[in-house]
Chain A
Amino acid sequence: MKVIELRNLYFSYNDRVVLEDINLAVEEGEYLALIGPNGSGKTTLVKLILGLMPPVCGEVLVFGTPLRQFRDWHRLGYVPQRAVLNNGFPVTVREAAAAGRFSRVGLCRNLKREDWEAVEEALEMVGLLSLQHKPLPELSGGQLQRVFIARALAGQPDILILDEPQAGLDDRYLYNFYCLLKRLKEERGITVFIVSHDIGEIGSWADRIICLNKKLLYQGTPREVLNPSKLKDVYGMNLYAAN
């Protein structure tokens, strides 16, 4: 089953075309990585999939439903590009992660015991359960990023969309993070859609790699895509992925 489908998608900011004729289908249970240089439209593509911006033309289908009619938002988990904390609010790790549960609980309803259990389980997965009562301003950047991953997991989504989550994570945790994604895919059948600039590491984890630079240039298994000549086409310079 196709969980995400993009048909002839175009997007432009004013007169600058950012995405051109994007066609893509993501299969259920797939681990898909989107790579491309800065400014290639990766984040824009994610925002179109999530309905945060309307495409200029083309169509986005999620679980076979056009985005306009889509209502099951709890089935999507989203980890934004940079976990920003713009105020000194002492929101606790637990409170922040609980927000990911709201769409399952529904408007005007309180979180029940099973909801809090899901929140705790999500915190456990990212290794933050012991810090659950700590206020966010006291966390490191990497820990903060993990809170936002936990928030996405707390809703127990079927698709997890992550926009360069590696940026904030510290090296020590990065390996665990990739293992976690793999585990989610294998044990729960979650579809993983990750935007990555880490072309070396991602090749050893993802099932399929997609290269974007305004257009979808290449897609295929890491072995097919991550070769010097194709990467040169995408990035416009010589690059060697380490695997």
Chain B
Amino acid sequence: MDMLHYDFMVRALIAGLITGLICPALGVFLVLRRYSFMADTLAHISLAGVAFGLLIGVAAEFSPLLTLLVAIIGALVVDHLRVRSRLSADALLALVMSGGLALAVVFFGLSRRGALDITSYLFGSLMTVSAADLWLILIVGAAVLLFLIALAKELYFICSDEEAARVSGLPVDLLNRIFIFLVAMTVAVSLRVVGTLLVGALMVIPVLTSLIVGRSFRQVFFLSLVLGVFSSLLGLTASYQFGLAAGGCVVLVALAFFIVSYLIKQFLILFKKRYVVKNE
């Protein structure tokens, strides 16, 4: 518990708690819609925002805001292409994702920063969560939770059957846009903790684990939140104890939950089959 004596660690844990909650909460709807790669795409665009900030020398307090702005612009582009272009979802996300990464690499190169800077953004770090970051995370976290409390049932309907949701008179386009905004903001603020390359994992892996275990949408949703928070807090603690990259630890913990659930499920299926055959 001595890690709680350090301010940076307390900030990292609070940030981890919130991102662990809101990442899978939005991730459930991304997976439901088969847009699992959306988070990764927006993360790469956000990285371009970070790099751009370094390039033009934005003050440290404003850097998270700039990242957020770029992520939202990226989200707008993705949403526009989703509706207007005839690209399939995976092709569209691949296109935008590589574009974002390419921009980020070039901006980083132009800004002549050391590799260390980039690494902390790619893989997350305990040390980099500033007080300004934390405020932003709290605000975004509150916005996401409020949105979900009010409109989770509508979002579920849209993600599971967009056409039927339209026929029922829901403002589908508006809700889609708000949703994608919230995903962009969540990705942008989660970058500091889990890093660009792994924020998508925190959005998706807890959901996939819950899909193995859950027997209803409600169960999947709430289990994802629990797993997200546990993965985040355990991962950050491990990162502190062993001096490893935060994002890597968080995602490995989430993966461990997935593997254990998967193995247990497979074992149960096998056992059930044997049981059925024996009793025939």
Is B164's beta carbon under 8 Å from chain A? Answer: yes
Residues of A near B57 (CB, < 8 A) are none
B163:A52 contact, CB within 8 angstroms: yes
Task: Please indicate which of the listed interface residues B31, B211, B217 has the most CB atoms of chain A within 10 Å of its own CB.
Answer: B217
Residues of A near B163 (CB, < 8 A) are 52, 80
CA distance A99 to B220 in the complex (A): 17
Q: Which of B145-160 contact A (CB under 8 A)?
A: 150-151, 153-154, 156-157, 160
B151:A108 contact, CB within 8 angstroms: yes
> How many chain B residues touch A (Cβ–Cβ < 8 Å)?
27
Which residue of the partner chain B has the closest CB to A88?
Answer: B211
Kindly state the interface size class of chain A when it binds its partner: 20 to 34
Residues of B near A91 (CB, < 8 A) are 160, 216-217
Is B169's beta carbon under 8 Å from chain A? Answer: yes
CA distance A91 to B34 in the complex (A): 15
**B36 CB to nearest chain A CB (Å):** 10
Residues of A near B153 (CB, < 8 A) are 99, 102, 110-111
A80:B164 contact, CB within 8 angstroms: yes
B168:A95 contact, CB within 8 angstroms: no
Is A237's beta carbon under 8 Å from chain B? Answer: no
Residues of A near B165 (CB, < 8 A) are 99
B215-251 toward A: CB 8 Å interface, digit per residue (1/0)? 1111110000000000000000000000000000000
Q: Which of A63-102 contact B (CB under 8 A)?
A: 71, 73-74, 76, 78, 80, 86-92, 95-96, 99-100, 102
Main secondary structure of the interface of B (DSSP, over half): helix
CA distance A88 to B157 in the complex (A): 16
Is A133's beta carbon under 8 Å from chain B? Answer: yes
Is B81's beta carbon under 8 Å from chain A? Answer: no
Using a Cβ cutoff of 8 Å, how many contacts connect chains A and B? 78
B169:A50 contact, CB within 8 angstroms: no
Is B166's beta carbon under 8 Å from chain A? Answer: yes
B157:A102 contact, CB within 8 angstroms: yes
**B159 CB to nearest chain A CB (Å):** 9
Given A99-B156, A102-B153, verify A78-B164 contact (CB < 8 Å): yes
Given A90-B211, A107-B154, A151-B164, verify A102-B170 contact (CB < 8 Å): yes
CA distance A87 to B36 in the complex (A): 12
B220:A52 contact, CB within 8 angstroms: no
Given A90-B216, A91-B216, verify A103-B211 contact (CB < 8 Å): no
CA distance A91 to B31 in the complex (A): 13
Residues of B near A51 (CB, < 8 A) are 166-167
Residues of B near A76 (CB, < 8 A) are 167
CA distance A151 to B156 in the complex (A): 14
Task: Please indicate which of the listed interface residues B163, B165, B169, B217 has the most CB atoms of chain A within 10 Å of its own CB.
Answer: B169
Task: Please indicate which of the listed interface residues A51, A88, A107, A110 has the most CB atoms of chain B within 10 Å of its own CB.
Answer: A107
Which residue of the partner chain B has the closest CB to A110?
Answer: B153
Which residue of the partner chain B has the closest CB to A83?
Answer: B161
Given A89-B220, A92-B217, A107-B151, verify A50-B167 contact (CB < 8 Å): yes
Is A135's beta carbon under 8 Å from chain B? Answer: yes
A108:B150 contact, CB within 8 angstroms: yes
Interface residues of A (CB under 8 A from B): 50-52, 71, 73-74, 76, 78, 80, 86-92, 95-96, 99-100, 102-103, 107-108, 110-111, 133, 135, 151, 155
Closest 5 CB pairs of A and B: A73-B169, A103-B168, A108-B150, A92-B216, A78-B167
Q: List 15 A-B contacts (CB under 8 A).
A: A74-B169, A80-B163, A87-B34, A89-B160, A89-B220, A90-B211, A90-B214, A90-B217, A91-B160, A92-B215, A99-B156, A99-B168, A102-B153, A107-B151, A108-B150
Interface residues of B (CB under 8 A from A): 31-32, 34, 150-151, 153-154, 156-157, 160-161, 163-170, 211, 214-220
Given contacts A99-B168, A133-B215, 13 further A-B contacts (CB under 8 A): A76-B167, A89-B220, A90-B211, A90-B214, A90-B219, A95-B217, A99-B161, A99-B164, A100-B168, A107-B150, A107-B151, A133-B216, A135-B216
